[in-house]
Amino acid sequence: MANEQSLTVSLEEFGLSKYEAQAYVTLVSKGTISASELAYYSELPRTKVYPTLLKLEKKKLAMISKSKPIMCTAISPEDAFDSVVQEQINKVNAMNTLVSNLKRVSEESRKSRGSEEKRYFHLNANNVLNQLRTMIEGSKSSIHIMADQWGLGLLAECRDQLVSVLRRNLDLKILIPSSQIGSEYYKIIPDNAKIRASDVIQNYFIFDETELLIINSDDGKGAMFSSTDVLGTNQSKIFTNIWRNAIKTECLADMTKTEAQEIYKIIKTINENGLTYILNTTITSKRNEFDMVKLLEKYGISLKTKTLDEVIEIVDSALQITCSGHANFEANNKNITIESKLNSGHSLPWVSVLDGYLQVQGYKTRMIYQNSSTKGEKIHIKISKN
């Protein structure tokens, strides 16, 4: 029954009325039957049977006997629709020829203008996730991603695919906004993925530097660009520049979102304002030992209420992120060691932060600075109570 209904709908698409389609399907399935039997099996109103048969006869889809009772038979489908099918084939062939001719004219026109066509494909919101998974799985060398909260949420749903490409040692780099450090989505991303934080405001995914997927977080729709020689190269360069200046997040992975956000804010404040603040205060004041602590307070970050261990942990995380360094406190010797693998003064702002905090807490400090071209920087801070 369900199959007959499907056939009826299909015949309606070929131009038959509902009654004509029902009658023809019934005749094909029952063979030669009377008009009353046709009404019964096809569920047509009795008053509509004969007019419907006349229309089928006129369309060369059925034959009606002249005897009583009226008997009716379907013309075989291959005879009935052969001409219709051939007509449709001719229309399709003609359309293909037209499209080919138009395409040739278009290409010749572009060549004369010195331009070349590059195709892209629109994706509706329902297909974006599946397409993203497919493109991740199909990557061969690298995946570079810039994602806001929406994009990071999509990535979290692709965790299995990300794990798979990381097993193949692909270069997977993800840029996220600082607001997502320590978030639920952030913690779902596999540990081996390289994640950095920046002021990200869009979603784009670069695969092997040749394919680009852009997603609109407002409506979830996407656009996919393939073999994007110019676009892919430019986006890769933009990504590389942002990545170089973005803040590492590996050591923040096990922290709560609040803790991770605080450290990010401290690093961002020192990086963007620290040097200017020190120079200004050096010019205007002879006492600059509290400068970095005051700078953080100016931007709403207070260290005064924290314990020494908490501040050292903050400085340790900041050193790991900014210069692959560490901070270590030897309580027995009253000695704090600040180390940096870079030897160009990267650790000094954090020494200043720690020194300022210690003096606010009533400690007397004495510093010993060591610098090695091969081993980096090391600063020892000896502390004692005033």
Query: Residue ranges of the domains in the chain?
Result: 2-75, 121-248, 257-385
Residue 3: per-residue pLDDT: 67
Residue 284: per-residue pLDDT: 61
Tell me the HSE value of 268 on the side-chain side, using a 13 A CA sphere: 19
C-alpha to C-alpha distance for 179 and 153, rounded to whole angstroms: 13
Q: Spell out a b/e string for 167-194, using b for 16 or more CB atoms within 10 Å of the CB, else e.
A: eeebebbbbbbbebbbbebbeebeeebe
Domain 2-75 and domain 121-248 have a common topology: no
Report the predicted TM-score, pTM, of the whole model to 2 decimal places.
0.57
> Could you name the CATH architecture of 121-248?
2-Layer Sandwich (3.30)
Residue 174: per-residue pLDDT: 94
User: Residues 369, 340: contact at Cβ < 8 Å?
Assistant: no
Query: Closest by alpha carbon to 64, among 33, 37, 19?
Result: 33
Reading the chain (386 residues) residue by residue, the pLDDT tens digits are: 546 777 887 787 777 888 999 999 999 999 899 999 999 998 899 889 999 999 999 888 899 988 888 899 998 888 887 777 777 787 888 788 888 877 777 666 655 555 454 566 888 888 889 999 999 999 999 999 999 988 999 999 999 999 999 999 999 999 998 888 888 898 899 988 999 988 777 888 999 888 888 888 888 888 888 765 566 677 888 888 889 888 888 877 778 888 888 888 888 888 877 767 666 665 665 554 456 888 888 888 888 888 888 888 888 888 888 878 888 888 888 888 888 887 666 788 888 888 888 888 888 888 888 777 667 788 888 888 76
Residue 54: per-residue pLDDT: 92
Structure tokens at 190: 């596999």
C-alpha to C-alpha distance for 182 and 261, rounded to whole angstroms: 8
CATH number of 2-75: 1.10.10.10
Residue 385: per-residue pLDDT: 79
Fold of the CATH domain 257-385: Alpha-Beta Plaits (3.30.70)
For every residue of the chain, which 3-state class applies, written as one string? CHHHHHHHHHHHHCCCCHHHHHHHHHHHHHCCEEHHHHHHHHCCCHHHHHHHHHHHHHCCCEEECCCCCCEEEECCHHHHHHHHHHHHHHHHHHHHHHHHHHHHHHHHHHHHHCCCCCCEEEECHHHHHHHHHHHHHHCCCEEEEECCHHHHHHHHCCHHHHHHHHHCCCEEEEEEEHHHCCCHHHHHCCCCCEEEEECCCCEEEEECCCEEEEECCCCCCEEEECCCHHHHHHHHHHHHHHHHHCEECHHHCCCCHHHHHHHHHHHHHHHHHHHHHHHHHHHHCCCCCCHHHHHHHHCCCCCCCCCHHHHHHHHHHHHHHHHCCEEEEECCCCEEEEEECCCCCCCHHHHHHHHHHHHHCCEEEEEEEEEECCCEEEEEEEEEEC
Residue 283: per-residue pLDDT: 61
Residue 288: per-residue pLDDT: 46
Residue 229: per-residue pLDDT: 59
